[in-house]
Structure 1
Amino acid sequence: MTITVNGAWSFVSAPNLHPMQVMIKVKKSGTAPGFLFVSPYTFFGAEMIGQTGSLIMDQAGNPVWFRPLPNRFVQNADFRVQLYKGKPVLTMWEGTISGTQSANPNLPDGDAEPGAFYLIFDQNYHVNHKVSAQNGYTSDLHEFTITKRNTALLTALKQVPGDLTPYGGPANGFFDNYSVQEIDLETGQLVFFWDVLTHVDPADSMLPASSAASSNGIWDCFHVNSIDEGPNDTLLISMRNMWAIYNIDKKTGNILWQLGGKRSNFTLGPNASFSWQHHARHRSDNRVSLFDDACCATRTSPPECQAHGLVLALDLAQMTATVDRTYYHDPALFVPSQGNVQLLPNGNQFIGWGQEPYLSEFANPGNTTTDPSLNLLYDVQYPSQNLSYRAFKNEWVGLPKDPPSVAVHITDDIAAVFASWNGSTETAAWRVLAGAALDCLEIVTVRAVRTGFETEITVQSEGPFYQVMALDGAGHVIGTSAIVRGEHDDEE
């Protein structure tokens, strides 16, 4: 039977898969269609529930596709659906996040360790592309976006030696420098490169250079965590530790304007200020959305302000920024790192709460701190201290080429047939065949409705050979398992 052990799923037909089990806290009408996309992991010293990897769930919290990683010290991030050459694909970062493998990591918390890369999967769950940052930079976990030009915009990271004493750090220190890179996915050619240290003054960082003392002399002064394409060949770039969002001209590399931080070109209206933010995105009508962590200088820093989704309206003539919408969690969350805000096709807002183990969907009007349950339509909690850098809701059609999985347990003349097909979004029901020989199987169950990731079907047959067929909503066979011999349960 399908069971959960310490908050993780276990399946008879897929014994190697142990994704985390989530709890649905709020479920109201009005949510957008789609599946949930998360990449669970946790920090060193915390209990990891289930396996790390990439997980698609339905809105009831059932796994749809799970790709586990070899151990908890390898993670995925930024797992979502994008378009490549007009077709839907899955994209993700894979590597090790500093702070997950040791109590004393060699890099600042949240950095990508060397050797990381990005993956693009087709609808059959086959890897089409494996991509790495260039020019000696490490592929960074924060952003991997496929453009309409079939190129990839990504964040990349490199430690650059430097004298940090002018900033209050060590003489023989390092800048944790970032670059924005654009790579042609067909040719692998680097077509755009923007070096942050060349264009942004580290002195404007909100993270003191003295923090380098606790991270091998490396000062994480910028911490770039999102890139978004804008109009007129511009890029919107969020830098967490600058408390600022930059609009740059790709042709010249110049900063056109800065929102927030020490050199903001905008006057920020009441409650429009933000700090330690993530996931800046263009919205219509000169608006910008972001996840305002409002906390913290380090993972162990005390909470500052309540995290929330934030949409700002920009007046580019008067250079002012005012609050358009806010999205607060109920109960309040204080989020030291990570997070995102996604605009859904129906206008709803989908929020991954980063280091706090939640994802939520809100109706577009949002809410305030005084009424945080207003417009909260859907809320999911992960087990224990599991977290996901970002969380997304996307529509997806998964068509695995691997066959369905089946396992059979027999007691007397009753067979319990367990059927699953990792990644199939089109399976609506199962057909069971059984027989005394491999070449004479007969249908014993015409149609058993699929129930979650794994369906248990009871049949009156001693077999000993069994096979299942996956049926779509129209009753067509879309997948056939191998033939297996049923296992007799031991009797006392």
Structure 2
Amino acid sequence: MPAAMGAWHRWMAAATVMVTAGALGSLGAGTTAASDLMEWDRAQCATRPAPPATSVPPPITSGSDVWSFVSAPKLHPMRVTVATRQRGTAPGDVFVAPYNLTQPVGQTGALMLEDSGDPVWFRPLPVANLENGDFRVQTYHNPRTGVTQPVLTFWQGTIAIPPYYTDLPGGAPEPGGCYYIYDDHYRLLRTVFARHGFYPDFHEFLLTRRGTALFIASKPVPMDLTPYGGPKNGAIEDSEVQEVDLATGRLVFSWDILDHVNPADSEVSASSASSSGGVWDAYHVNSIDEGPDGQLLISARNLWAVYDVARQTGDIRWQLGGKRSDFSFGPNADFYWQHHARFRPGNRISMFDDGCCDQPDGTPEQQSHGLILNLDFLNHRATAVRTYYHAPGLYAASQGDTQALTNGDEFVGWGQESYYSEYRGAGNTEGDGSKNLLYDAMMPGSDISYRAFRHKWVGKPWYPPSAAARGGSGGQSTVYASWNGSTQTRAWQVLAGPDARSLSVVVDHADRTGFETAVTTDNPGPYFQVRALNAKGEVIGTSHVVTRSG
């Protein structure tokens, strides 16, 4: 067994004992296997990273590139630079999950932002070795009750990033990760884990109308790699598409790429396993989408290929790209190392074409861009109908997405490049990346986000607003108010008094000015409280009473 495989099994055994013991404490002995699975999924998971050789340096939590708040002193999200902000963007906020390959600028975690760059909601992670991925809004369907509700979903765990983790291929999920589903009050509804001995992969977590979740699950499978030019006692990083019923926790569907695609088709040499614990990342499955007839669109980055898979049989109906493509390509339609393949109306699909890097000999490198293709099934020809380039041109070595927005625009997350952008649907061409650009923002330092999305979201936190008060010159007081995740707060009321039980309104209406609003009053307090007001002037939340300092 390769060293990486031995470490993987030891970690998985320890993680399973730790989580199961905590989850089953309220159930008692003799719990059935099925309910064990259900209760395991409800447990908090991925709260500590997989054991690394070294730790990622702690995040930078001060300075001009980081937010700091008086009323929320534990929150230090990154501060983005908004370079372009024009009228006509689609409604909604921006959803990213920042992390850093060297040292994070700001805490890592799930971050919701206004177009101004101000945070809306931030859920920081305790250590920089943990990451969130694929943070977005989805719809949770309960087929038993017929109730649907908007939810937040994301992956949480550890990604193999050299030099901190070298036991798996770079970008692979370490064992111990899981998926989270939060409701609009920011309460945890469910956590979801993989089956068949696989572990959840951060690349995709997709909720369906059937009350299930489709996701990618990964694990290294021992294999003699000498026929492919790799080590004899090696392993291949296998990927399986899994579907789990969210009500019961049962696996209802699975599709394993190793059963259907020859790893010899990979664009990554098996000799690369020597730098990743003997594990060859031949496939690197990184997205799933479900079509109108239930068919699956599966992207395999390291094959340069997208597959249409018949759900009923598991057969590959057609392959786009790679060494066995069923389609030829028109000008600007070919792609390399692609991400986020999605069905579009008609015979179109979209993706993020990374276009680079580490190309095999003779393969031209191209600028990363959003790409929409039309598939002509009669002539087996793929043509580019829309492209979305950045100015200046970017070369993303990994990650990225292209999202269709409700108004016809396209939102592009640039993956390993620290940008996210919105374009009018007509797009642009290489060398003309400013054309139809409506919005462009850059993350600080070398912070990146696997994907970036724009979504409409109404957040109604179950917890109260936060407040702090500071003394100033001339007997004035400055009261700081914030409510992490509230999208309905439009203004603040400030109450003050000589003791906690004798408070009265001293500022009736102060417009919200961002994540945190500072309100000045001549009242010395020293006890203060804030109330959040909605657009109608109604009180929707009240903070705890705080005492002025300074």
Q: Does 1:258 align with 2:319?
A: yes
For residue 415 of structure 1, what is the aligned residue in structure 2? 477
Question: 2:239, 2:100 → 1: CA distance?
Answer: 24
For residue 476 of structure 1, what is the aligned residue in structure 2? 538
Question: 2:469, 2:293 → 1: CA distance?
Answer: 60
Question: 2:394, 2:357 → 1: CA distance?
Answer: 13
For residue 87 of structure 2, what is the aligned residue in structure 1? 29
Q: Does 1:455 align with 2:511?
A: no
**Cα pair 1:303 1:334 within 8 Å, conserved:** no
- Output the amino acid matched with 1:110: G
For residue 489 of structure 2, what is the aligned residue in structure 1? 427
Q: Does 1:439 align with 2:471?
A: no
For residue 59 of structure 1, what is the aligned residue in structure 2? 115
Q: Does 1:160 align with 2:216?
A: no
For residue 138 of structure 2, what is the aligned residue in structure 1? 82
Q: Give the 5 Å matches for 1:262-301.
A: 262-297=323-358
Q: Deviations over 1:254-278 (max 9, x none)?
A: 0000000000001111111100000
- Correspondence for 2:105 among 49, 56, 61: 49
CA shift for structure 1 position 105: 1.8
For residue 156 of structure 2, what is the aligned residue in structure 1? 94
- Correspondence for 1:342 among 403, 421, 424: 403
For residue 128 of structure 1, what is the aligned residue in structure 2? 189
- Correspondence for 1:467 among 529, 532, 537: 529
Q: Does 1:304 align with 2:360?
A: no
Question: 1:39, 1:445 → 2: CA distance?
Answer: 36
**Cα pair 1:150 1:185 within 8 Å, conserved:** yes
Q: Secondary structure at the match of 1:31?
A: coil
For residue 70 of structure 2, what is the aligned residue in structure 1? 12
Q: Give the 5 Å matches for 1:101-140.
A: 102-103=163-164, 105-140=166-201
**Cα RMSD (Å):** 1.3
Q: Deviations over 1:308-327 (max 9, x none)?
A: 00000001122110011000
For residue 228 of structure 1, what is the aligned residue in structure 2? 289
Q: Give the 5 Å matches for 1:104-253.
A: 105-253=166-314
**Cα pair 1:432 1:444 within 8 Å, conserved:** yes
CA shift for structure 1 position 355: 0.4
CA shift for structure 1 position 296: 2.2
Q: Deviations over 1:387-426 (max 9, x none)?
A: 0000000000000011000000012420000000000000
Question: 1:346, 1:104 → 2: CA distance?
Answer: 42
Question: 1:106, 1:297 → 2: CA distance?
Answer: 21
- Output the amino acid matched with 2:255: W
Structure with greater proportional helix content: 2
**Cα pair 2:391 2:431 within 8 Å, conserved:** no
- Correspondence for 2:463 among 402, 410, 417: 402
Question: 2:104, 2:293 → 1: CA distance?
Answer: 44
CA shift for structure 1 position 297: 3.7
Ranges of 4+ aligned residues in structure 1 off by more than 3 Å: none
Question: 1:326, 1:434 → 2: CA distance?
Answer: 56
Q: Larger deviation: 206-215 or 422-431?
A: 206-215
Q: Deviations over 1:333-388 (max 9, x none)?
A: 00000000000000000000000000000000000013211001100000010000
Q: Give the 5 Å matches for 1:343-422.
A: 343-411=404-472, 412-422=474-484
CA shift for structure 1 position 437: 1.6
Question: 1:275, 1:139 → 2: CA distance?
Answer: 25
Question: 1:356, 1:329 → 2: CA distance?
Answer: 11
Question: 2:104, 2:444 → 1: CA distance?
Answer: 9
The total of aligned residue pairs comes to 480
Question: 1:244, 1:292 → 2: CA distance?
Answer: 11
Q: Deviations over 1:71-118 (max 9, x none)?
A: 110000000000002210000000011106x44521111111110000
Q: In the superposition, relative to structure 1, how do residues 104 and 139 fare at CA in structure 2: closer, same or farther (>3 Å)?
A: closer
Question: 1:326, 1:189 → 2: CA distance?
Answer: 40
Question: 1:297, 1:87 → 2: CA distance?
Answer: 43
Q: Percent identity?
A: 54
**Cα pair 1:6 1:49 within 8 Å, conserved:** no
For residue 54 of structure 2, what is the aligned residue in structure 1? none
- Output the amino acid matched with 2:126: P
Q: Does 1:485 align with 2:547?
A: yes
Q: Deviations over 1:116-162 (max 9, x none)?
A: 00000000000000000111001000000001111000000010011
CA shift for structure 1 position 304: 2.6
CA shift for structure 1 position 440: 1.2
Question: 1:35, 1:104 → 2: CA distance?
Answer: 33
Normalising by the residue count of structure 1, what TM-score does the alignment of the two structures yield?
A: 0.96
**Cα pair 1:8 1:49 within 8 Å, conserved:** yes
Unaligned segments of structure 1, at least 5 residues: none
Q: Deviations over 1:176-212 (max 9, x none)?
A: 0000000000100100010110100000000111111
Q: Does 1:68 align with 2:129?
A: no
Question: 1:410, 1:389 → 2: CA distance?
Answer: 43
Q: Deviations over 1:202-261 (max 9, x none)?
A: 000001111111111110000000000013221000000000000001111100000000
Unaligned segments of structure 2, at least 5 residues: 1-60, 142-147
Question: 1:315, 1:303 → 2: CA distance?
Answer: 25
**Cα pair 2:182 2:188 within 8 Å, conserved:** yes
Q: Secondary structure at the match of 1:237?
A: strand
**Cα pair 2:166 2:275 within 8 Å, conserved:** no
- Output the amino acid matched with 2:479: V
Normalising by the residue count of structure 2, what TM-score does the alignment of the two structures yield?
A: 0.86
**Cα pair 1:52 1:68 within 8 Å, conserved:** yes
Question: 1:272, 1:202 → 2: CA distance?
Answer: 24
Q: Deviations over 1:34-77 (max 9, x none)?
A: 0000000011xx22100000000001000000000001100000
**Cα pair 1:207 1:220 within 8 Å, conserved:** yes
**Cα pair 1:292 1:307 within 8 Å, conserved:** yes
CA shift for structure 1 position 439: 1.5
Question: 1:213, 1:39 → 2: CA distance?
Answer: 30
